[in-house]
Amino acid sequence: MRCPFCQHADTQVLDTRVSEEGDSIRRRRRCPSCDKRFTTYERIELAMPTIVKKNGSRAEYERAKLLASIMLALRKRPVSAETIETAVARIEDKLLSLAAREVPSDRLGELVMRELKKLDKIAYIRFASVYRSFEDVDEFAEVIREVRPKKPRRAADSKT
């Protein structure tokens, strides 16, 4: 590793530690040329798939964009930031598990809808109304029926 102070081509590793989460390694280094010390971190870099939009264009996956769309659907809803982060992590895990270089945007949208349906029914309906571009009220009503709890049948109803 090149020294950030004097640009010497080689440095010595003095100490190596794994982070508490186990997802990175911290290394203390010393430059033999200028004797300065510095810290480096190694992290796993996972390649997220490219998103193929409906018009055929391609865009790099952006976590911030995904998070922003979920946050918009969850605006003024009682869902914690930690819960949202966990949902985004599940979506990313699913994208990675697909092991595909490219993923259609509608597949990503379905993953988001599945997570929102678990988190908050109102947010799910909000997202679905934009994502599915409803043409009429019946399509919207169908999504509402999906999330509406089933009413238990009364004993009198079952006798007829």
Collect all residues with Cβ–Cβ distance below 8 Å to 86 and sequence separation of at least 6. Answer: none
Query: What is the reported pTM?
Result: 0.60
Name the residue range of residue 29's domain.
12-43
133: left (phi over 0), alpha (psi -120 to 50) or beta: left
Which position has the higher pLDDT, 137 or 93? 93
Average pLDDT of the segment spanning 11-25: 88
In this structure, the strands spanning 50-52 and 102-104 are: parallel
The most confident of 29-38, 119-128, 131-140, by mean pLDDT: 29-38
Average pLDDT of the segment spanning 146-154: 66
The whole-number pLDDT of residue 140 equals 61
Token pair, residue 13, equals 């590793």
Element (H, E) at 43: strand 37-43
Contact 102, 50 (CB under 8 A): yes
55 and 114 in a single domain? The answer is yes
Distance CA 138, CA 130 (A): 15
28 and 89 in a single domain? The answer is no
97 and 127 in a single domain? The answer is yes
80 and 35 in a single domain? The answer is no
Token pair, residue 56, equals 């055929």
19 and 62 in a single domain? The answer is no
Average pLDDT of the segment spanning 130-143: 68
Distance CA 118, CA 124 (A): 8
- Domain annotation covers residue 158: no
55 and 94 in a single domain? The answer is yes
35 and 60 in a single domain? The answer is no
- Residue-wise pLDDT tens digits, 42-81: 877 778 899 999 899 999 999 999 999 999 999 999 999 8
27 and 104 in a single domain? The answer is no
Distance CA 109, CA 105 (A): 6
29 and 65 in a single domain? The answer is no
- Residue-wise pLDDT tens digits, 73-112: 999 999 998 999 999 999 999 999 888 999 999 999 999 9
Using the Cα atoms of residue 104, residue 107, residue 113 and residue 119 in order, give the sign of their dihedral.
negative
The overall average pLDDT reported for the chain is: 86
User: pLDDT band at 155, cuts 50/70/90?
Assistant: low
Which position has the higher pLDDT, 151 or 113? 113
38 and 92 in a single domain? The answer is no
60 and 135 in a single domain? The answer is yes
77 and 117 in a single domain? The answer is yes
